[in-house]
Structure 1
Amino acid sequence: MSALICVARIGAAHGVRGAVKLWTFTEDPFAVKRYGPLLSKDGKRQFELAQAREAKDHLVATFKGVTTRDEAQRLNGIELYVAREKLPATDEDEYYHADLIGLAAITTAGDALGRVLAVHNFGAGDIIEIAPLKGATMLLPFTNAVVPEVDIAGGRVVIELPQEIEGDKDGDEDLSPSRAGESRDP
């Protein structure tokens, strides 16, 4: 089986006729209707979308065979997946997170850093997580400046490690514990 990509998550029941709130992770929220049956993470369960309509920040959807609120509520939290090859091709400089996970991470000098562990978005842009060969996990902005090259066919991403920002030693304030909480006013 090819890689499965998460395209949606079922939320709470909506109404009494088997509808659910559906959060989609696709550029076009209604794209989930075009992929055919959606799968559970393990690929063992299939869900066929019967109807979907737009709500405030999600869709309200019904699945074939789900007709009661109780049946709908049992689906709450299930993530829905499709096979990678069913997804449209990406534009240049666009990537599916699943295509990046596991790629080798190297520096612009060619030194091995580790592997791409995940790509996150906490609301301020994508963050690439690197599991290094040694040391702590690195979270870096997934920007062209920090990740100037993504070579999926070659199995690697190139990382320009940001330089440490050092404060001006002469202008640094003394923030030692003994001064914490003291007023700076005369």
Structure 2
Amino acid sequence: MTETPSAEEVLLVGVIVAAFGLRGQVKMRTITDNVEHLHRNVRTLFIGPKRQPYRLKNVQVPKAGTAILTLEGVTERTAAEELRGMEVTIHERDAAPLAEDEYFIHDLYNLLVITEDGDEIGRVREVLETGSNEVLVVTRPGAADALIPMIHDVVSDLDISGGRITIRPIEGLL
């Protein structure tokens, strides 16, 4: 039996949006750009707030952003409908390897944000995904949160292992 990983050990890959067909398949809205990796390399998905393990039998990708999943033990539409709205995660060790300039969104949380001059701005509290780029919500002591766009004109260095993001603030940013 598969051991259920902790919340810190899983990565979100999608949300089940509907049952699909009559044989228990589910339609998932994906938030991963590497669905093929799921199909080839991931054997177990964890679904819902309790991260219930399901063996992944098959993945079909009818269009970008959507995957049809066949899960072991889910063989009827009613069982598939019960999963609607639930998050789908994978164990972090099953994730596709990252390229040198890539990172997981959760790696940005709590990083210290400083300017190139060494001034501390605050810590990343939240990451907003806007479509074109991420925006960091940075908690500043004694001031309103700062919104920092993750673009090359602003972020001069991202040092996840060192725990900090160095920025070059443009006029009006702070």
- TM-score grouping bracket, smaller chain normalisation: 0.7 to 0.9
Partner of 1:129: 137
Partner of 2:3: none
Structure 1 41/97 Cα, relative in aligned 2: closer, same or farther at 3 Å? farther
| Cα distance between partner residues in 1 of 2:9 and 2:142 | 28
Q: Could you tell me which of 31, 45, 51 is aligned with 2:52?
A: 45
| Cα distance between partner residues in 2 of 1:103 and 1:40 | 28
Equivalent position SS for 1:48: strand
Unmatched runs of 5 consecutive residues or more in structure 2: 1-5
Alignment of 1:1-186 (within 5 A): 1=6, 3-33=9-39, 34-40=41-47, 42=49, 44-57=51-64, 58-164=66-172
**What is the root-mean-square deviation of aligned Cα atoms in Å?**
2.0
Code of the aligned partner of 2:92 = R
Structure 1 160/43 Cα, relative in aligned 2: closer, same or farther at 3 Å? farther
Structure 1 143/89 Cα, relative in aligned 2: closer, same or farther at 3 Å? same
Code of the aligned partner of 2:80 = A
| Cα distance between partner residues in 1 of 2:30 and 2:95 | 14
What is the identity percentage for the equivalent residue pairs of Structure 1 and Structure 2? 30
Higher strand share: 2
Larger Rg: 1
Equivalent position SS for 2:63: coil
Give the ranges of 4+ consecutive aligned residues of structure 1 lying more than 6 Å apart after TM superposition.
Answer: none
Structure 1 139/25 Cα, relative in aligned 2: closer, same or farther at 3 Å? same
CA shift for structure 1 position 145? 1.7
| Cα distance between partner residues in 1 of 2:127 and 2:156 | 16
Q: Deviations over 1:129-155 (max 9, x none)?
A: 212223222222101221111111111
Deviates more, 1:148-157 or 1:29-38: 29-38
Would you say the 8 A contact 2:49–2:86 is kept in 1?
no
Structure 1 27/63 Cα, relative in aligned 2: closer, same or farther at 3 Å? same
Would you say the 8 A contact 2:114–2:120 is kept in 1?
yes
CA shift for structure 1 position 44? 4.1
Would you say the 8 A contact 2:43–2:57 is kept in 1?
no
Would you say the 8 A contact 2:15–2:29 is kept in 1?
yes
Aligned residue pairs, count: 165
Would you say the 8 A contact 1:4–1:41 is kept in 2?
no
Deviates more, 1:29-38 or 1:145-154: 29-38
Unmatched runs of 5 consecutive residues or more in structure 1: 166-186
TM-score, normalised to structure 2's length?
0.84
CA shift for structure 1 position 85? 2.9
CA shift for structure 1 position 6? 0.7
